[in-house]
Each structure stands twice: as C-alpha cells, then as structure tokens.
Amino acid sequence: MTGFLDFVVDDDRWTAADGLADRAEAAATAALARIAAPRPGVIVVMLTNDDTVHALNQRFRDKDKPTNVLSFPAPESEAYPGDVALAYETCAREAEAAGKSLADHGVHLVLHGVLHLNGYDHEEEGEAAEMEALESAILTGLGITDPYLAGMEP
C-alpha cells in the first residue's frame, strides 16, 4: 500500500516492471496536486492480464477485446475515486513497439486512469488536449518521454 495507490498484482509478469509502483505513485501525487478538487481516497490499481481486462471491457463497456487500461470511477457518494486495471500482454506489446520500458508505459497508463477517475476525459478534442498536456507535463517531470510525441496514446 502506498499513499494514493494500492497495487493488486493479479499477474506475476508485472513484477518485471521495476519501479512501476513508486513511479506511478509519484505521477498520481503530481496529478492530484494539479487538480482543483481531487476525489479523496485510495485508488486500487489491478495489474492483471488481457483475459481479465477483456472480460471487464466486455461486461462494462460492451467491447469484445482487451485494452491497455480501464478505469472504473466510483459513484460520487463513495469515499474513494475508483479503480484502474492494466492488461499485461497489451501493455507489454505496446511498450515494446514504442521502444520504451514496461514500467514507463505502465506509469503513463496508471496516470491516465487516475485522471479519468478525477473527471478528465478525451472524447472531445478540447478535453483530449487538456488531458494529454497534463499527462505530458507530469511524465516529462518524472523523466519519462512524452508518450504523445512518441505516438503512444492510451
């Protein structure tokens, strides 16, 4: 358990992502410091696999495929922001294709999920630009290459 994030490792292959938890915590801390009214509480980050994320994506989004990251905002009445899930195979494949470490890519995706849980979205161009700019600034501050310059969109 860390400050804002609680990691649940559902797939042991994620242990290869050295430093992911600490660096994702730093990214979440930086993000929440920049949000006017962040949702309080601990976010559970499930590090799982394509099969689990596929099932979640199908059940909750009616999409019959895995994806790299899913965020599940809790209802406003709840005392925590929600949960985030990352799919190992998809994330590892994307990281390799981009020539970046799994940990760097995982930090970006956890940050992306944390922002979703705090009301950020990328459905409209203006929203996307705001969210991407915040992600880029935070990741660059942590020494991670801007994923949008490298073509690594979540």
Q: What is the pLDDT of residues 112-149, one digit of tens each?
A: 999 999 999 998 888 899 999 999 999 999 999 888 88
pLDDT of residue 125: 87
- The count of other CB atoms within 10 Å of the CB of residue 3 is 11
Shortest CA distance to 10 belongs to which of 94, 83, 93? Answer: 83
Residue 89 near residue 50, CB atoms below 8 Å: yes
- 3-class state of residue 12 by DSSP: helix
pLDDT bin (cut points 50, 70, 90) of residue 151 is low
Report if residue 148 sits inside a domain: no
> What are the residues whose beta carbons fall under 8 Å from the beta carbon of 32, sequence distance 6 or more?
4, 38, 114, 118
pTM: 0.93
Structural domain range at position 126: 5-141
Residue 100 belongs to a domain with what CATH number?
3.40.390.30
User: Mean pLDDT score of the chain, rounded to an integer?
Assistant: 92
Shortest CA distance to 66 belongs to which of 45, 92, 46, 87? Answer: 87
Q: What is the mean pLDDT of residues 93-101?
A: 94
Residue 65 near residue 144, CB atoms below 8 Å: no
- Report the Cα–Cα distance between both ends of the chain, in Å, rounded: 25
pLDDT bin (cut points 50, 70, 90) of residue 3 is low
- The Cα 97–Cα 125 span in angstroms is 26
Report if residue 79 sits inside a domain: yes
Is 44 exposed, middle or buried (CB count within 10 Å of its CB: 0-12, 13-18, 19+)? middle
Res 30 pLDDT > 50: yes
pLDDT of residue 130: 93
Structurally, how many domains does the chain consist of? 1
Q: What is the pLDDT of residues 126-136, one digit of tens each?
A: 889 999 999 99
pLDDT bin (cut points 50, 70, 90) of residue 86 is very high
Q: Pull the structure tokens for residue 66.
A: 């895995």
Report if residue 150 sits inside a domain: no
| Gyration radius of the chain's alpha carbons | 14
pLDDT of residue 152: 56
Report if residue 152 sits inside a domain: no
